[in-house]
Chains A and B, each alone.
Chain A
Amino acid sequence: MSLVFLIFIPILAALFIPLLFKRLGQIHTGWFVLLVPAALFSYYATRLPSVMEGGTYVSEFSWIPSLDIAFVAYLDGLSLLFTLLITGIGALVVLYSIFYLDKHREQLHNFYVYLLIFMSAMLGVVQSDHLITLYLFWELTSISSFLLIAYWYTRDRSRFGALKSMMITVFGGLMMLGGFVLLSIMGGTYSIRELIAQAPELAQHDFFIWALVLVLLGAFTKSAQFPFYIWLPDAMEAPTPVSAYLHSATMVKAGIYLVARLTPVFALSEVWMWLVAGVGLFTMVWASFFALKQKDLKGILAFSTVSQLGLIMSLLGVAAAAYHVEDAAETYLKYAAFAAIFHLINHATFKGSLFMIAGIVDHETGTRDIRKLGGLMSLMPVSFTVALIGSLSMAGLPPFNGFLSKEMFLTAMLSLQEFDMFSMDVWWVLFPIIAWVGSVFTFIYSLYFVFHTFAGKHQPEQLPKQAHEAPIGMLISPVFLAALVVLIFFIPNLIGDWLVKPAVAAIQPFLYDSPQNVDIHVAAWHGFNTELFMALGIFAIGGLMFWTLHKWQRLYDLYPDAISLNRLYDEMMLLSGGGANRFSRIYMTGFIRSYLVYMFSFMTFIVLLTLFLTDAFQIDFSNLTPIGIYEIVILLALVGATLTILGSKSRLTAIIALGAVGYSVALLFVIFRAPDLALTQLVIETISVALFLLAFYHLPQISRKEERMKFRFGNALVALGVGITMTLVALSAHSQKALPSISEFYKETVYKEAGGGNIVNVILVDYRGFDTLFEIAVLGIAGIGIITMIRLRLTKKEGQHENK
């Protein structure tokens, strides 16, 4: 099957979910959903051997050919890695959700439909080679994330978190779209591969730096980098399977993916390198520091995710530095890209398992407040073991995979010393130091998470539920992930060859022709080098600080909420909402006169401007018909009646004068040789006047006292403008004919083609039959409306139909 269609399989499967939920409600809908990611995972896994050798797959499906927009699925090392993560973690999360979400109480059809939409969107993001469709899928992930966070939509916090994530990520997405458009203008193509091929020329372009910053805004908002990370902690209101899937393993890594994918395009710029590395590293240390302030289990994990994303981001920044160094493949800088991808895989395994454990604790004790938890070790031994493995891996301890990637992270940061641009001999030192500080706090919050939940004193009176071990089904996924955490430690080079190296070759195509050329060997033991001493320092200082945590954790309370980023977001939302409201109230008066004034003035303005600009106004005196005495008399009557209406104080006078105008028009029709019109006008006018008189009884007297002088002057001005415009239009329209009239055709063919003598009637019922049909429809609708209005008696007092 064509690769590009595989992207849409989850979204197609979503169509059947409501049906399955309604018809087969006794079977948990998740079991059917599970088939989709599992099948996709097995299919994509078969592509691994050839991608490992450097093979790529391209599959294209044209969507809007006229705009050159197409769905292009491009599978190389990087996209295949993400694809496997999406489908693999997806399958585990769906399995976990089957036991997490109750089939009787939860709206499973909503949940799984959103989840499957997300899965398609995410596959689209990581496989699209076309910038515009990449953007489309990118925003679709934001929308499905919004829906999933707001899954328990009756809760205020859920809706707030959903809106916040949506506002921030969609803002970033729009910025990114701007960057994409600039890229396509510069390169003349939407294809990422073609853009990479012309990277050196692009770097010379004036727009280059703008495109770079805009694209990074998209990546940073999505991957929760400082200062945009504030949406991620609030997104924790989502059900835990969603947090584990979207907000830790996949969606938040879309930004990482984008940076990795576009590294070959932008890495030639030093700005890119310093922005990505600097923002990433700052995010890492900032979030790891504030993770210790959190009291909510998922809050700790959210901040830890932000921190880990920052870590991966900074590694990609350092990977970009390799473009600026001669023979980068010979230096230690080469480790950065490998470490980034390797840590991404490791993070997905240990953070996925930790989120699931947090969900289990929540599910089985009824709370996620770490102050109420403690001593669960003996009650939930399996969960404790999994949490311990995950946490220690996150802390960077052997024998877990986190140790390996953390060592490589330190290696990469130290390797910046080989980068001697700008005479960075002093500044580069900051990077390893910040990285080290961040790692210390990472170590502390990892221990904080696991020991404050599972060790210490059990407080059963604080827990809403009697704590006990989770059902076996719920434990399968976290145990599996924890097993991977340990397994990867022992076979890192297998993972490296299969998954990491093909992705690294995609990030740094100028360094490596094929994945086999990536000359990196992962080992747990490097001898006594700087990294090892740094790691030992982390364990020692971190352990000491964790031991004394209860003494200094209170310091966090001193941090004032008033100057936090969250506060800034709240104020901005309030301000923009209130400001927009105030602004629209200025012109949205709710008074029909205001709206009519806008419309009439604008129409007058536009028509006059067009007449002036296109030089369209002209009067042709040659083609005039002579002025007759009857016409003048009738016109005088018409004008007189019109003025009477304007001046009349009584309704009756106004109605009769309106009738007089109508009859004058009918007489004009007679004179201008339009007998049908005259007949119709006479009949209609008679009925109209009768109708007016019928309504006459029920309507109040025309009162003009309320109309203030200022208003009347304004009205007169607008009216005068419209009147003059219409006169000019009438003169110009009569004086020039851009095209010959179709009337000649009607006149000549009316008898031959339609067999009728009355040309007007034949036009109406024959040539333009559909117009007449719809005219009748309008009449019918008006009639139904009138009957409804007269028969329907809706009064507020009773609130129901009176005539029932």
Chain B
Amino acid sequence: MELVMSVAIGLLFMAAVYLMLSKSLIRIIIGTGLLSHGAHLLLLTMGGLGGTAPPVVADGVTVGDYADPLPQALILTAIVISFAVTSFFLVLAYRAYQELGTDNMELLRGTEDYE
């Protein structure tokens, strides 16, 4: 399973980077979204996908049976942070489009007379 997951993670990262390199702001934001999904799955796969029980203490479950709780804790944090970042980006893109009338990164670069 880990091998298949690794390939899927690679695919997610590839798509994310490809989107982030485009000129349209909305595609860049979607790209960051995909990037965080890829990162979450990467964390999960790194810790191993084994374990037969969710990491919640219950009767009759021994320590060896739990899924690895550490990646889960990390991912939980990451999900929330990536949500914050995505929503910030969205509002930024929305406001930038309102003010400047474009979402094309080519046109959004700094002015030439920055010396």
Which of A151-159, A367-375, A518-526, A755-763 contacts the other chain? A755-763
Q: Give the distance in Å from the alpha carbon of A651 to the alpha carbon of B26 in the complex.
A: 8
- Please state if B57 and A757 are interface contacts (CB–CB under 8 Å): yes
- Please state if B5 and A730 are interface contacts (CB–CB under 8 Å): yes
A589 at the interface (CB under 8 A from B): yes
- Please state if B103 and A743 are interface contacts (CB–CB under 8 Å): no
- Please state if A665 and B10 are interface contacts (CB–CB under 8 Å): no
Counting chain B residues whose Cβ lies within 8 A of the other chain, the interface size class is 35 or more
- Please state if A747 and B69 are interface contacts (CB–CB under 8 Å): yes
For B55, the closest partner residue in chain A by CB is A759
- Please state if A734 and B48 are interface contacts (CB–CB under 8 Å): yes
- Please state if A746 and B24 are interface contacts (CB–CB under 8 Å): no
Closest CB-CB distance, B112 to chain A, in whole Å?
8
Closest CB-CB distance, B52 to chain A, in whole Å?
8
- Please state if B27 and A676 are interface contacts (CB–CB under 8 Å): no
Contact with A along B51-78 (1 / 0, CB 8 A): 1111111100001001111101101110
What chain B residues lie within 8 Å of A675 (beta carbons)? 54, 56
Q: B10, B19, B72, B104: which contacts A706 (Cβ < 8 A)? A: B104
- Please state if B70 and A775 are interface contacts (CB–CB under 8 Å): no
What chain B residues lie within 8 Å of A692 (beta carbons)? 90
- Please state if A691 and B90 are interface contacts (CB–CB under 8 Å): yes
Q: Give the distance in Å from the alpha carbon of A782 to the alpha carbon of B55 in the complex.
A: 31
Name A626-663 residues within 8 Å CB distance of B.
626-628, 631-632, 635, 638-639, 642-643, 645-646, 651, 654-655, 658, 661-662
Closest CB-CB distance, B61 to chain A, in whole Å?
10
- Please state if B21 and A700 are interface contacts (CB–CB under 8 Å): no
For A670, the closest partner residue in chain B by CB is B54
Which of A85-93, A299-307, A444-452, A716-724 contacts the other chain? A716-724
What chain A residues lie within 8 Å of B98 (beta carbons)? 698
Q: Give the distance in Å from the alpha carbon of A668 to the alpha carbon of B44 in the complex.
A: 10
Q: B18, B80, B88, B103: which contacts A716 (Cβ < 8 A)? A: B18
Q: Give the distance in Å from the alpha carbon of A119 to the alpha carbon of B70 in the complex.
A: 59
Closest CB-CB distance, B87 to chain A, in whole Å?
6
Contact with A along B83-105 (1 / 0, CB 8 A): 11111101111110111001111
For A597, the closest partner residue in chain B by CB is B21
Q: Label chain A's interface by main secondary structure.
A: helix
A748 at the interface (CB under 8 A from B): yes
- Please state if B93 and A699 are interface contacts (CB–CB under 8 Å): yes
What chain A residues lie within 8 Å of B6 (beta carbons)? 727, 730-731, 734
- Please state if B77 and A775 are interface contacts (CB–CB under 8 Å): yes
What chain A residues lie within 8 Å of B90 (beta carbons)? 691-692, 695
What chain B residues lie within 8 Å of A591 (beta carbons)? 105-106, 109
- Please state if A730 and B42 are interface contacts (CB–CB under 8 Å): yes
For A661, the closest partner residue in chain B by CB is B37
What chain B residues lie within 8 Å of A625 (beta carbons)? 1-2, 48-50
Which 4 pairs from chain A and chain B are nearest by CB? Answer: A723-B14, A727-B10, A590-B109, A719-B18
Extra A-B contacts (20), CB below 8 Å, given A654-B26, A672-B44: A591-B106, A592-B108, A654-B30, A658-B34, A661-B33, A672-B67, A673-B52, A684-B80, A722-B17, A723-B11, A730-B46, A747-B63, A747-B66, A757-B58, A759-B57, A759-B66, A759-B69, A778-B81, A789-B92, A794-B99
Residues of B in contact with A (beta carbons under 8 Å apart): 1-28, 30, 33-34, 37-38, 40-42, 44-58, 63, 66-70, 72-73, 75-77, 79-81, 83-88, 90-95, 97-99, 102-106, 108-110, 115
Residues of A in contact with B (beta carbons under 8 Å apart): 581, 589-593, 596-597, 600, 619, 623-628, 631-632, 635, 638-639, 642-643, 645-646, 651, 654-655, 658, 661-662, 665, 668-669, 672-677, 680-681, 684, 687-688, 691-692, 695, 698-700, 702-704, 706-707, 714-716, 718-720, 722-724, 726-727, 729-731, 733-734, 741-744, 746-748, 750-751, 756-760, 763-764, 768, 771-772, 775, 778-779, 782-783, 785-786, 789-790, 794-795
